[in-house]
């Protein structure tokens, strides 16, 4: 009986296995193929990229569009800006998280309940786009790197996350350090920070990826191209140009001549666009498979809910 | 806590000094985060005052020259043709997203759990996270290029015998595009939680079921799914909490004047009329309505999830 049963289940599930493996493969392809298509289009011979007959593998090999893209000084400026924003926000975020989370776990803090609520309220009730914009402008952050950095170095979520992690560290450690004469700064730096490296790794990675991919704040506050990050450059290239072409295509005044011109512009620009996507996205694409465990950990810790 | 409380009645001056020094240090540590939050989170809440004024750019939120107009802007919005359109678009897009988006990660997690081959499983999982790491601008840019009249999708449709269409310009198609895009971007990442809950199910349950002669389907329906139902419930409730927050980021990148009638939501309208159009007071009033609805929804959602789990969000 017990030998027969497992066999029975197995027999019934071979067909099911094939179906399940196939569905999952299809889903994975849907996730990966668009990026793959962009990559092979970007390195195919321009002829093939224009006639759009590239589907599975690059046709020919052509680095011209990469040469064009990488010789554009604006791309490098945007790259530099993105790295600055991601780096500074990451470091700032780690510092403020550690600093703010520590007092919230200390039994000595007077008014702890008040400060916990102080941190929770903005998670429920936002200040709104326009008032935020007015305040930031009044503080002179319009068209300044601070518009990105200042809001980017504090997160209520991450403070709560770190606080939760800190709370698991035995109180004895703090007490014994205190008896040894250490002050709170020393305890935080020498006891709490070293034992909480995993959670800081999670926050660092989330912050960097979020900054690398963000565009909204920059589009509101940064009109100066010299300050704009990569994503705004991408937006101009991928979205705004396309919208413009779309308008001339659909516009009542559009003659067939200008329509053709617009069409041509889109076609030849496609390869450059795809190249720019690869240039901007490659760092994240290459790194994320190796950081997976941190992302998974982030989701898990986040779901534990303090 | 215990030391502080126990020593309170006969606290020596030395202890008091210690407590003061301690708190001085602790408050210094709190300071940077508190300053940023005061400026970036709390000051803008105070800024809601301009919803009740005729605010002129450059002025303060409160002063002798402030022109108070009461609920004028709220009523003007309520009476305008935009009220119905924006509200229904916002709720409808979020609702569709909730209905279609929430079960895909669950089914994906269930399917993935049936895979025995670890390497295959790992590869599929890694692939499914990829869209999450592609920036919104890139993802929308790719989509726009793929659904253009000569794009990948239309060529596929033509190859299958259909006719190419300018999908992005058709108002009736916006919701579909929006929902599919959200699913594509998020299902892999959103499945992480379900996968780990499924992995943590006691394997002796399955063994017992097998001994009782349960087949694979029965095991899924009687063990796996009941085990993840609490997680599903919490995730659903949380999703309801964000019902009034359609994905403004994505819509701003995807919509066109020709699709405003189905794509324009509260967030995009505020962005367009407020920042580009300079109607600060009017759009702040709209933002305030959105924030209040949002607050009520999140509060209710959290309270329900508190009751269900005994823990809740915090």
Residues A15-29 pLDDT 10s: 888 999 999 999 999
Burial of B172 (0-12, 13-18, 19+ CB in 10 A): exposed
Burial of B12 (0-12, 13-18, 19+ CB in 10 A): exposed
Cross-chain residue pair A135–B142, CB shorter than 8 Å: no
Cross-chain residue pair B40–A132, CB shorter than 8 Å: yes
Cross-chain residue pair A28–B22, CB shorter than 8 Å: no
Residue A258 pLDDT: 55
| Disruptive mutation site among A102, A114, A131, A202 for chain B (greatest number of B CBs within 10 Å) | A131
Cross-chain residue pair A103–B26, CB shorter than 8 Å: yes
Alpha-carbon distance A164 to nearest alpha carbon in chain B (angstroms): 10
Partners of residue A215 in chain B, C-beta under 8 Å? 135-137, 249
Q: ipTM score of the complex?
A: 0.86
Cross-chain residue pair B145–A273, CB shorter than 8 Å: yes
3-state secondary structure chain A: CCCHHHHHHHHHHHHHHHHHHHHHHHHHHHHHHHHHHHHHHHHCCHHHHHHCCCCCCCCCCCCHHHHHHHCCHHHHHHHHHHHHHHHHHHHHHHHHHHHHHHHHHCCCCCCHHHHHHHHHHHHHCCCCHHHHHHHHHHCCCCCCCHHHHHHHCCCHHHHHHHHHHHHCCCHHHHHHHHHCCCCHHHHHHHHHHHHCHHHHHHHHHHHHHHHHHCCHHHHHHCCCHHHCCHHHHHHHHHHHHHHHHHHHHHCCCCCHHHHHHHHHHHHHHHHHHHHHHHHHHHHHHHHHHHHHHHHHHHHHHHHHCC
Residues A200-214 pLDDT 10s: 999 999 999 999 999
Q: Does A286 have pLDDT greater than 60?
A: yes
Residues A219-249 pLDDT 10s: 999 999 999 999 999 999 888 888 887 776 6
DSSP state of B39: I
A30 to chain B: nearest residue by CA?
B184
Residues B166-223 pLDDT 10s: 899 899 999 999 999 999 999 999 999 999 889 888 888 888 988 888 888 888 899 9
Partners of residue A100 in chain B, C-beta under 8 Å? 29-30, 32-34
For residues A54 and B11, the model is more confident at A54
């Amino acid at each position: 009986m017990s030998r027969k049963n497992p066999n029975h289940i197995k027999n019934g599930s071979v067909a099911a296995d094939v179906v399940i493996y196939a569905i999952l493969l299809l889903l994975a392809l849907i996730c990966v193929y668009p990026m793959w298509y962009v990559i092979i289009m970007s390195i195919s011979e321009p002829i093939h990229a224009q006639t759009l007959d590239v589907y599975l593998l690059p046709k020919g090999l052509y680095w011209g569009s990469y040469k064009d893209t990488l010789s554009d000084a604006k791309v490098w400026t945007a790259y530099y800006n993105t790295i600055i924003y991601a780096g500074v926000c990451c470091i700032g975020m780690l510092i403020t998280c550690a600093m703010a989370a520590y007092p919230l776990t200390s039994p000595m803090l007077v008014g702890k309940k008040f400060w916990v609520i102080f941190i929770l309220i903005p998670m429920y009730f936002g200040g709104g786009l326009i008032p935020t914009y007015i305040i930031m402008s009044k503080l002179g952050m319009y068209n300044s790197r601070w518009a990105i950095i200042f809001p980017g170095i504090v997160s209520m979520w991450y403070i709560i996350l770190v606080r939760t992690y800190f709370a698991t560290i035995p109180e004895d450690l703090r007490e014994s350090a205190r008896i040894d004469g250490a002050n709170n700064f020393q305890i935080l730096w020498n006891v709490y920070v070293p034992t909480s490296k995993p959670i800081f790794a999670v926050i660092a990675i989330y912050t960097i990826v979020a900054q690398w991919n963000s565009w909204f704040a920059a589009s509101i506050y940064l009109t100066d191209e010299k300050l704009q990050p990569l994503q705004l450059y991408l937006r101009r290239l991928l979205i705004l140009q396309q919208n413009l072409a779309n308008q001339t295509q659909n516009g009542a005044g559009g003659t067939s001549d200008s329509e053709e011109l617009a069409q041509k512009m889109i076609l030849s620009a496609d390869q450059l666009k795809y190249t720019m996507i690869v240039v901007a996205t490659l760092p994240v694409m290459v790194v994320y498979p190796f950081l997976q465990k941190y992302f998974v950990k982030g989701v898990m810790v986040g779901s534990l809910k303090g | 806590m215990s030391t502080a409380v126990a020593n309170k009645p006969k606290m020596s001056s030395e202890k008091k000094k210690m407590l003061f020094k301690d708190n001085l240090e602790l408050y210094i540590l709190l300071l940077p985060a508190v300053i940023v939050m005061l400026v970036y989170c709390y000051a803008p809440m105070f800024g809601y005052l301009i919803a009740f004024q005729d605010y002129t750019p450059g002025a303060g939120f409160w002063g002798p020259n402030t022109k108070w107009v009461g609920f004028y802007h709220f009523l003007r919005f309520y009476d305008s043709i935009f009220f119905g359109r924006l509200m229904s678009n916002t709720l409808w897009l979020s609702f569709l997203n909730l209905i279609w988006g929430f079960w895909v990660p669950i089914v994906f997690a269930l399917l993935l759990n049936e895979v025995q081959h670890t390497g295959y499983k790992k590869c599929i999982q890694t692939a499914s996270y990829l869209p999450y790491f592609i920036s919104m601008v890139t993802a929308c840019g790719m989509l726009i290029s793929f659904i253009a009249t000569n794009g990948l999708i239309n060529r596929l449709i033509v190859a299958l015998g259909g006719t190419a269409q300018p999908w992005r310009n058709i108002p009736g198609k916006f919701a579909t595009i929006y929902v599919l895009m959200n699913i594509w971007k998020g299902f892999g990442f959103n499945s992480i939680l379900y996968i780990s809950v499924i992995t943590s199910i006691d394997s002796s349950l399955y063994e017992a079921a097998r001994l009782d002669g349960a087949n694979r389907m029965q095991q899924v329906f009687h063990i796996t799914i009941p085990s993840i139902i609490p997680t599903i419930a919490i995730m659903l409730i949380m999703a309801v909490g964000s019902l009034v927050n359609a994905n403004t980021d994505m819509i701003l990148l995807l919509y066109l004047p020709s699709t405003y009638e189905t794509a324009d939501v509260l967030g995009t309208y505020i962005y367009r009329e407020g920042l580009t159009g300079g109607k600060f007071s009017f759009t702040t009033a709209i933002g305030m309505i959105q924030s209040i609805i949002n607050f009520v929804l999140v509060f209710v959602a959290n309270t329900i999830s508190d009751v269900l789990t005994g823990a809740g969000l915090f």
